[in-house]
Structure 1
Amino acid sequence: MKLHKAAMFAFAGLVFGMGAQASASDRTGEVTLIHMGDLHGHLVPHASVRSDAAGRTEGGVARIYTLVERIRRAHPGKTLLVNTGDTLHGGAEALFTKGEAMIEVLNAFHFDAYAPGNWDYVYGAGRFLSYFTGPQAKARWNPVIANLYYDNYPGLEAKNGQSVAPPYLIKQVGGLRVGIIGFTSDRGPQAGDQKVTAGLRFTDGKEEYAKYVKQVRAQDVDLVVVISELGLHGNLTLADAIPGVDVILSSDKHEITPRPVVSRNGTLIVEQGMDGQVVGELRVRVNKGVVADKRYVSHRITERLAEDKRVAAMVAQVRAPLVSGPAFRPGAIANPFSGASLRYPIDTVVGQTEVPLHRSNFSNERMPAVIEGSSHDFLTDAFRRQGRAQLGMITGFRYGTAVAPGPIKLEDLYHFLPVGAQIARGELTGMQIKKALEGNPQNTQARPGEWINGWTAGVSGLTADFDPQAPQGSRVSNMRINGEPMRMDATYTVAGLWYEKIPALINRLPAKGVVVVKDETGAPLDGTDVVKMYLDSLPHQRVTKGGLQLDRIRLVKPLPAGDHGIVEVQPLGTVAR
């Protein structure tokens, strides 16, 4: 099979002897695990701008399907296709259909197992249950979830404490018995209405991991595979502590593992980035009940892969009401969160950029993504100007997209702002702003098992120094607004993300004097509308190299090196393991 900019790694025998356990049988066989994850609503290809770019564009589900079918044909009857992480959120197609566009297309993939991500609950618990549970479930993806329970869900009180979906599956494939244990995130969406998961209870998965590894091992399986949205950090911590798992297919933190991370107990852990950039292929051979060989291939999804025509047609069909053409009707579709109507086709060119817009640099590069991204610099400039504020801020979301120098389309803005946030101006103190900048660096530089939330907040109108080796509370220093030192006791106007369900917060920070940006008639504007207005205000609607200031958060010392010798989007930890 031809590999398209793929990296292959082979591991044999005792490398896995600590994590794998011989089964009670003497079966011999082979299985190939195909892993995709964290699509975040990306149906079509997007620009490839990071330093490891393997082509002009990357992603696209029609390309992914081509690769999946190629692997299936190469190993007939011996494959399992797994999807993990956030799928129903992240773009206009997902947003305006509440995830149904993604389901309609991805049902064609025939997933053998699925572990949902925290953003897959963003449209509410009821919709999640209708998609993934019961005989009429719309998503025919075989969800496997060990750490999600009913918790006084209206009308289903009799199910209190029961698992929402099967905690594990056992598959017969390639002459082997393969146990698959699934974990969703330990939290719901961290933006907007925090009540969307009411009636469901998440756990951190620690008890369930130990419980179900033992249960599944007792059922004469040849392999135990965990599919998990607990993130590379959480999965590594669990695998270090509890033996018995051969492979973890991980999602949540959007890391790319060009080669597997191996836990202390010998468990292989892989993660496939985000937005359909990468698909993992792991072939496992068992000889007389003992894992004899594992080979991992990290496939980059680029234009070298042709689109599958049937899936491409399905993508075109679900996009038709949103893009230019006879099916688009201005104002006919409303954002389910903000209520703002879609007035322009999402393929409308709304501006131009001379600067690649993204937040995806690796940790060893200038302006690493964990600290800053040009896309967030651009967005916060828009918030600040259109909100008529001293500062612009945005939560350090890990998701987004990449825009190459050239046209900016409306759908790019929806990938950057996919959860219906509006933009508002309010008053924050200097101390609140400092704590906001200190908070996420602590989360992302903590020991692996302590990581939470996103990256450092994006800012406009403010510069600061950041020392990753300093103690918490002292990492951010030399904060300046328009060149003047920021005072901790002073009040500043800040424009940022605002949600109707939590009206006293901007970027989830308590703010005074909140004023929401609206149109000339007083109607609500989606955040994307506000950014479009900003682009309209620029000469030639162009983001220029001279106009977009970068390096707003200056690293005074380098970030810690990625663990296991892998250059990650964000480091695996700050301490030796």
Structure 2
Amino acid sequence: MSNLLRKSRKTLRPYAIGLLSMTLASLALVPQAGADPKKEITIIHVSDVHGHMLPHDEDFAVAGNRENAGGVARLATGIRNIRERVGVENSLTFMVGDSTHGGAEVLFTLGNAIMPVFNAFGIDAFVMGNWDFAYGTRVTRSRYVDSLKGKIPMSKNNQTTLSSTIPACTGKASAADCNVIAANYPAIANNVYYFKENAVGAARKPNLDPSNRVFQPWVIRVANGVKVGYVGITSSRLPVQNPLFNLGLRFTKGYTELPGDIAAARTAGADIIVLATELGLGDNIQLAKEIKGIDVILSGDTHETIPDPIEIKNVFSGHKVIIIESGEDAYLGELKLVVKGNEIKDYAFTLHEMTDEVAEDTSDYFVTGGIKALVAENTKSFYDGPDFTCHTFGPGGFQFGKGHTLCTPLDEVAGYTEVKLERRDVIGDIMNNFIGDATLALGKNTGASISDDNAFAISNGFRFDIPVLGSGTPLDGPAGGVSNGAITVGEIYNFMPFTPAVSLVDFTGGLLRGRYEGFLEGVFDPHSFRHRGGWWMGFSDNMRFVMDLELSPTSVPLQTIGGRILSMELNGNPVDPSKIYTVVSCYPNGEGTDRQCRTSGGRNMRFPCGEFNPDQGIPSIVGLCEPLNTENIVDTSRKPAVLQVAPNDFWVPAQVLREHLKSNVITMAQFGPRRKNTETVPYNGCPGNPPALDQNCDGVPDSSYGEVQPAFGAGPTWLGRLLVGGDKDDH
């Protein structure tokens, strides 16, 4: 096995809930005697690349702190090395999770900058991540739906307007002249259906007939004579992210459809079944327990980097299911399988770390001149040099050429940090603390009548897994040295690669507390199928929570006592359920004006407005603007279907962080510790007899149960999904 095998950053522990039987395995491939032939195949797992085209900082478990790690040119080298070692005819390359969204280069090109790379990789099948839908359904259909690829012109004002980096897209061009780059590989998903947005009443019930599915639910690919049935389930979280991501589409969990899809693939000749999903690790463990006929699960969405496969015993058949999750672009999974007939007899897994010691691809294997040169060509207009140009992304409702414009090279330094910035902790981290404080500062600078006593800010808590190493951090590569702690504009867009409008909205304290209890339930529900995302939010420094994650809400949704939140204080005072508070956060363009990111039911929306000044020595002048439209924001029977709400000079989160870095260095004293806003009460039994879930008695499920999202939630196990009995027929 490769010496880059990731022994552990935090290894998932065995944990028994109900009939779960789970062990960690990495077995040697030992030849076995027998007359029937055994065939060895290799699955290359590319996971949650998130548009990270160029190398970046990374903190590896084995290789340590590195600069200039990851990026798609190093992934290309890893893929090529595996194929050349095992034989391309004996391998399959499967990609899972967010791929075309996650950085400025892909945001401002609607993913076009990275698509030629993926098309060169020779991907055998793919499951979209939730963020791959974020450019609107015109892009989704034109890029990924087989019968529509290249046939849908982009709209000048619909779900998403076009980036100015596509010169032909003036809002009037034809599909032949103005389009996104289509995938040359199939997108597989059994849980996405067409939906008629203009339907009324009972006709709005989604049609879940198999003939109404948008994508192929499965495909068969062959390696070394083994027919691999690849079944896909994409994210079911789209409807709660932004309605513009899924206009004309509806999503299920894929659970009900899955047995029939497995059976169909088997009937078509599949020897083994590989399920790839964007549902997250907790859901995938539960699927392995409940659904018969699965051999391997390629997990995506939660960005876990698991060095050793998780082995799950199906409760109905006793069949063992292998689960792997391979992090993001700085990792590459290699799963060797020994197959006899329709059974996996043995396997071995290597999680390769794409460090700075892995050369970026300059060969002609994928494209003439190499992937490194292709990346440089496709990103040169974003970096300092003669080819640099401004870029514009138009969110929902904005006319062509309007929206958020970036006129600063991505390699320009925006500020500095003395501490490592990395958003992986499920409860809190220094980066989200910084985002919260920066956002509240912008709100105050607008002149709005807010203070630390009546307003606070939140960060969505998103994690895209690219760290920024603090100044003085020793580097573990061959060259040694230390990090200078510089934060570039590109790294800020890696953290905040989206364009919602920063907004101020008023809510009652009781509504906010009820919403926050709901968010905690979505993260820590012991029933994994009810998970709705693996993160708690970040807050500005004046907000404090005390939480008991071991409990679950025991009252109505708008409760003011009980549940996981034991106390909620603003600037040292309890939050009053009847009082009005102003929240500074983001507004997802295309939503109703009662909506902020993660919260609805507000009133009196206003927007920070005014041109952002990129000069680091000059503060920007910010004012306060009213919404341009306040009602009937989305109406698909109307042209335009989406109305503009935020003003043209709205602010996006990346600009907020750049502005705050003009006068702040990120330090532990000011923005730490990582959980400065949230105190968590230890589990019952601590400290004398701590439970397995909270061995360190910090009140949060140990990261060994899932570093990014606790796979089994937190709370009474009887609230989980327990199974009894079952048929022993596996296939």
Q: TM-score, normalised by structure 2?
A: 0.70
Match of 1:553 in 2: 678
SS of 1:263 mapped into structure 2: strand
Larger CA deviation: 317-326 vs 378-387? 317-326
Taking structure 1 as reference, are residues 375 and 50 closer, same or farther at Cα in structure 2, changes over 3 Å only?
farther
- Mapped contact 1:351–1:407 kept (Cα < 8 A): yes
The answer to whether the aligner puts 1:99 opposite 2:232 as a matched pair is no
SS in 1 for 2:520: helix
User: 1:118-517 maps to which residues of 2 (within 5 A)?
Assistant: 118-134=130-146, 136=149, 138-152=182-196, 161-188=211-238, 190-191=240-241, 193-265=242-314, 266-274=320-328, 276-287=329-340, 290-309=343-362, 310-330=370-390, 332-336=391-395, 339-360=403-424, 369-388=425-444, 389=450, 390-399=455-464, 401-405=466-470, 406-447=485-526, 448-460=528-540, 461-472=542-553, 473-502=562-591, 503-507=593-597, 508-517=599-608
Equivalent in the alignment of 2:609? 518
CA distance in 1, matches of 2:496, 2:342: 49
Counterpart in the other structure of 1:366: none
1:250-296 deviation per Cα after TM superposition (whole angstroms, max 9, x unaligned)? 1112222221122222111111223x132211101123554221111
Given the alignment of the two structures, is residue 115 of structure 1 paired with residue 195 of structure 2, yes or no?
no
Give the Cα–Cα distance (whole angstroms) in 1 for the partners of residues 122 and 105 of structure 2.
Answer: 21
Runs of 4+ in 1 over 6 A off after TM superposition: 50-53, 562-565
CA deviation string 1:418-461 (max 9, x = no partner): 22012112222222332343222211111222211341111012
Using a 3 Å threshold, how does the CA distance of structure 1 residues 384 and 470 change in structure 2: closer, same or farther?
same
> Counterpart of 2:474?
none
Amino acid at match of 2:538: G
- 1:124 deviates by 1.2
Compute the displacement of 1:142 (Å): 2.0
1:465-515 deviation digits (Å, cap 9, x = unpaired)? 121112324322232222333322222222111233223322233322222
Give, in whole Å, the separation in 2 of the partners of 1:123 and 1:493.
30
| SS of alignment partner, residue 105 of structure 2 | helix
CA distance in 2, matches of 1:39, 1:375: 21
CA contact (8 A) 1:28 1:176 kept: no
1:471 and 1:286 map into 2 onto residues whose CA distance is 44
Deviates more, 1:312-321 or 1:481-490: 481-490
Q: Secondary structure at the match of 1:56?
A: strand
Give the C-alpha shift of residue 242 in structure 1.
Answer: 1.8
Q: Which of the pair is proportionally richer in strand?
A: 1
CA distance change for structure 1 residues 566 and 72 in 2, over 3 Å: closer, same or farther? farther
Which residue pairs with 2:637 in the alignment? none
Q: How much has 1:244 moved relative to structure 2?
A: 1.2
Deviations 1:1-55 (A, max 9, x none): 74324449533899xxxxxxxxxx9553111001011111211222224777634
Cα distance between partner residues in 2 of 1:471 and 1:458: 21
Q: Work out whether residues 331 and 353 of structure 2, in 8 Å CA contact, stay in contact via their aligned partners in 1.
A: yes
Deviation at residue 413 of structure 1 after TM alignment: 1.8
> Which residue of the partner structure matches residue 86 of structure 2?
75
Number of the residue aligned with 1:544: 667
Match for residue 64 of structure 2 among 50, 54, 57: 54
**What secondary structure does 1:516 align onto?**
strand
> Using the alignment, how far apart are the partners of 1:313 and 1:336 within structure 2?
30
What letter is aligned with 2:666?
V
AA partner of residue 335 (structure 2): L
In terms of mean alpha carbon deviation, does 71-80 or 293-302 score higher? Answer: 293-302
Q: Distance in 1 between matches of 2:706 and 2:650?
A: 42
Aligned-pair CA distance for 1:177: 1.6
What residue identity is the alignment partner of 2:418? E
Q: Indicate if the aligned counterparts of 2:608 and 2:651 stay in contact, CA closer than 8 A.
A: yes
| Contact 1:395–1:454 under 8 Å retained in 2 | no
Taking the aligned partners of 2:119 and 2:243, their CA distance within structure 1 comes to 29
1:427 is paired with a residue whose SS is: strand
| Residue 570 (structure 1) aligned with residue 649 (structure 2) | no
CA distance in structure 1 between the aligned counterparts of 2:356 and 2:547, rounded to whole angstroms: 38
Query: Could you report, residue by residue, the CA deviation over 1:110-167 in whole angstroms, capped at 9, with x for unpaired residues?
Result: 101101111111111111111112364511122222222233489xx9x994332222
Displacement, 1:565? 6.2
Name 1:18's counterpart in structure 2: none
Amino acid paired to 2:41: V
In structure 1, the partner of 2:98 is: 86
Moved more, 161-170 or 114-123: 161-170
Stretch deviating more after TM superposition (480-489 or 205-214): 480-489
The alpha carbon displacement at 1:383 in A equals: 0.4
Give 5+ residue unaligned stretches, structure 2: 9-24, 151-181, 199-206, 315-319, 363-369, 445-449, 471-484, 554-561, 611-620, 624-648, 684-691, 695-700, 723-731
Question: CA–CA distance in 2 between the matches of 1:290 and 1:208?
Answer: 23
Aligned to 2:605, what secondary structure does the other structure show? strand
Structure 1: give runs of 5+ residues left out of the alignment: 15-24, 361-368
The 3 A distance-change label for structure 1 pair 409 and 394 is same
Q: CA RMSD in A?
A: 2.8
Decide whether aligned partners of structure 1 residues 259 and 73 sit closer, same or farther in structure 2, where only a CA change above 3 A counts. same
Contact 2:524 2:531 in 1 (8 A): yes
Whether the aligned pair in 1 keeps the contact of 2:272 and 2:342 (CA below 8 Å) is no
CA contact (8 A) 1:125 1:199 kept: yes
CA displacement at 1:567 relative to structure 2: 5.2
Worse-superposed segment, 305-314 or 143-152? 143-152
Q: 1:556 to 1:160 in 2, by over 3 A?
A: closer
Asked if the contact 1:82/1:111 (under 8 Å) is kept, the reply is yes
Distance 1:475 1:51, change over 3 A: farther
Conserved 8 A contact 2:304-2:706? no
Q: CA deviation at 1:321?
A: 1.4
Name the residue aligned to 1:20: none
Whose radius of gyration is greater, 1 or 2?
2
C-alpha distance 532-335 of structure 1, shift in aligned 2 (>3 A)? farther
C-alpha distance in structure 1 between counterparts of 2:116 and 2:105, whole Å: 11
The separation in 1 between residues aligned to 2:103 and 2:456, in whole angstroms, is 26
Count of residue pairs brought into register by the alignment: 550
Would the aligned equivalents of 1:227 and 1:248 in 2 still touch at CA under 8 Å? yes
Distance 1:552 1:33, change over 3 A: same
Question: Does structure 2 conserve the Cα–Cα contact (< 8 Å) formed by 1:54 and 1:302?
Answer: no
Distance in 1, matches of 2:514 and 2:488, equals: 34
- Cα deviation per residue 1:379-422 (whole Å; 9 max; x = unaligned)? 11110001115311122324353211111111122122222012
